[in-house]
Structure 1
Amino acid sequence: MSWRVTLHCTRTEAEALPESEELFPFSDSPPVIVADEPDPHAPDDWRLFAYFTEQPTTRELILLRRLAAGSEPELTHLGEDDWVTISQAGLEPIRAGRFFIHTPTHRDDVPDGATAFEIDAGLAFGTGQHDTTAGCLRALETLAGRSFANIADIGTGTGLLAFAALSLWPQAKAIATDIDPISIDVSQDNAAINGVRIGHGPGELLLAVADGMDHPILTARAPFDLLIANILAGPLIDLAPAFAASVTPGATLILAGLLDTQADGVIAAYAEQGMEVVERGDGEWCVLVLKAAQRSVAASWQPLTEPGGGLSLPFQ
């Protein structure tokens, strides 16, 4: 049988989730914890679902309460169905241009001619269900006729946007980073599922845990001619100088994770860096496509040789 515990939380609490093994070190079968944003119109109202194979104990419920301040656990008996089937039942495939994003339960539903990626529901963000992720996929497709050689996906979540970029530009080098180590673990698993090669070379993806642009691998890989960042408006504004310094003159940036009401503030921050808006996007969650100045701050960036030797990489 299966049991589900539901807690209401903030996005900050959802992003701070520990791994189940860390939260329940005493358990031989720890629950699987999934974060969900039920209403895109309320970007800070999230839910946590913890799926147990057996009825959770009082001790386990107390530990879960610590993940979401002020929320009382809601316990639901799910019957005999497997928790994976239940947790993914509401996650319908997403079609964004040529891209078809699906969970394992829809593996046989891929349309002819689609570029499909299998992204399991789990602890990381960016499964394609949110408007920002789907919007980024559509923005990438609009750039398909152009050529990019060095791509960065900052705040990658599940790795999905980096995978999509490499499918469009298979000879490019790509790096995907996230501040959350769980996201990088999930991205590595998703890369294996979707046949994305991990490595330094053309057509390969590097993965690293990084806070913004603060990582030696990003320094070594810069400047980028395509930079994708699906995060939040505040961090996007804070990172504007660092992004501008890490891209080539005339580079393309795809920025998302912001409401339409926040777009003007983000645009202003990047205009100060000499960038112009190419596409603002529609809807409540807009996706900005920007072009870096032809003579940008990137001129002062000193690219390093490809990391190796004494630099230890988390994934090679």
Structure 2
Amino acid sequence: MNWKISAFAPKEAVQAALVAHEDAWDWNPEVVLSGCEIAEDKPDDWVLEAWYPHKPTATDKAAVKALFAEGAPELTVEKLPDADWVALSQEGVEPIRAGRFHVRTPEFPASTEPGVTDFIVPASQAFGTGQHATTAGCLAMLTAMKARGVEVRNLADIGTGTGLLAFAGLELWPRALATASDIDPVCAGVVEDNCELNQISMGARRGELTMVIADGMADPLLAARGPYDLLIANILAGPLVELAPDFARAVVPGGHMLLAGLLTTQEGAVRRACRLAGFRLAARMVNGDWSILWLRKRAGVNVRAARPGRMPDWSRRW
């Protein structure tokens, strides 16, 4: 990504633009979009950034402006030096402590706190180092689920990125079957490397991790290894809504689902889709502007057959 468009606007406007982006069916999948606050002491001042592999055209600029309902801000276009911007954005980040987990890059020392599991996740081509509020929130929610007596024998991490949430699941339930999937082929090598760093065995047996490149739930291996009593999906609100029926078919009655990647303003739509698919809310957590949802599938729910879910490219999220 050698070019970037920036649009500075109030928090509400940028969040609304992110939602509009998810609904833009014709959005170029090569263009990565993100939004965040400018500084910790300015929580209401945000910037929307669009990353391009080419110099943005007039059409590209118009597409960004169209994401803002009214009063589109001025756009700043800049050329960036050749670099792996995902990796650079993650270098030197401080370790995080979420639930019973300490997540760090190799530059930092391991935690010596009793009862805390240390994971190493280098800056890489995949997202999910634990720094984002959604990933950290999932780590905290998984810890809470374990503390409340949830037992897991078969888990799936959909949109795994670096593999971190699957690693956490195996740490909490070490005898579980574990499957991780992502739509981005880059993630296969990233997860393999991270398994080696964290001494996690890859394989198809209990306590090992199976990795698959899959488009949503439409994959024979994901189907063959199910049904699951824990399904984790830290992706985007749009795919969560679209895939709710597919998730329901993949989770056992009484099973658990952990969803993240949705803004608090998008929570209602995600919860409605999950309720229609047969899930009820067990607990929710808010981390900054993001919602983390723990849901349970009701017993005796029949989900109508539908086409296998194909989701947009959410692989470059975090």
Residue equivalent to 1:60: none
CA drift of 1:72 comes to 3.2
Alpha-carbon distance change, 179 to 87 in structure 1, aligned in 2, over 3 angstroms = closer
- Cα distance in 1, alignment partners of residues 104 and 188 from structure 2: 20
Residue type of the partner of 1:106?
F
Matched, 1:39 2:41: no
Residue equivalent to 2:246: 242
TM-score normalised over the length of structure 1: 0.72
- Cα distance in 1, alignment partners of residues 145 and 115 from structure 2: 19
Q: Percent same amino acid at aligned positions? A: 43
Matched, 1:126 2:122: no
Residue type of the partner of 1:123?
Q
Q: Is the 8 A contact 1:124 1:186 kept in 2?
A: yes
Q: Is the 8 A contact 1:37 1:46 kept in 2?
A: yes
Other structure's SS at 1:157 match = coil
1:151-209 Cα shifts (integer Å, max 9, x gaps): 00000011000000000000000000001111222111111111111111110110000
Residue equivalent to 2:79: 73
1:124-158 Cα shifts (integer Å, max 9, x gaps): 01110100000000110011132100000000011
Residue type of the partner of 2:138?
C
- Cα distance in 1, alignment partners of residues 193 and 132 from structure 2: 21
- Cα distance in 2, alignment partners of residues 44 and 292 from structure 1: 36
CA drift of 1:7 comes to 3.7
Give aligned pairs, total.
260
Of 143-152 and 291-300, more deviation after overlay is shown by 291-300
Residue type of the partner of 1:115?
T
Alpha-carbon distance change, 246 to 85 in structure 1, aligned in 2, over 3 angstroms = closer
Residue equivalent to 1:141: 143
Other structure's SS at 1:39 match = strand
Alpha-carbon distance change, 106 to 215 in structure 1, aligned in 2, over 3 angstroms = same
RMSD value over aligned CA atoms?
Answer: 3.4
Residue type of the partner of 1:97?
G
1:64-103 Cα shifts (integer Å, max 9, x gaps): 53699664313499xxxxx999765541101102100100
Selected match of 2:168 from 164, 184, 188: 164
What are the residue-to-residue correspondences of 1:152-301 with 2, within 5 Å?
Answer: 152-282=156-286, 283-297=288-302
Alpha-carbon distance change, 142 to 177 in structure 1, aligned in 2, over 3 angstroms = same
CA drift of 1:274 comes to 1.7
Alpha-carbon distance change, 123 to 171 in structure 1, aligned in 2, over 3 angstroms = same
Residue equivalent to 2:95: 93
Residue type of the partner of 1:276?
R
Unaligned runs of 5+ in 2: 7-17, 38-42, 62-76, 306-318
Alpha-carbon distance change, 93 to 290 in structure 1, aligned in 2, over 3 angstroms = same
Alpha-carbon distance change, 185 to 278 in structure 1, aligned in 2, over 3 angstroms = same
1:245-288 Cα shifts (integer Å, max 9, x gaps): 11100000000000001001000001111210111212410001
Residue type of the partner of 1:122?
S
- Cα distance in 2, alignment partners of residues 76 and 45 from structure 1: 17
- Cα distance in 1, alignment partners of residues 82 and 248 from structure 2: 49
Alpha-carbon distance change, 88 to 297 in structure 1, aligned in 2, over 3 angstroms = same
Residue type of the partner of 1:295?
G
- Cα distance in 1, alignment partners of residues 259 and 139 from structure 2: 12
Residue equivalent to 1:308: none
- Cα distance in 1, alignment partners of residues 280 and 221 from structure 2: 27
Alpha-carbon distance change, 86 to 241 in structure 1, aligned in 2, over 3 angstroms = closer
What are the residue-to-residue correspondences of 1:43-54 with 2, within 5 Å?
Answer: 45=49
CA drift of 1:292 comes to 0.2
Q: Is the 8 A contact 1:223 1:298 kept in 2?
A: no
Q: Is the 8 A contact 2:86 2:125 kept in 1?
A: no
Q: Is the 8 A contact 2:166 2:180 kept in 1?
A: yes
Residue equivalent to 1:150: 154
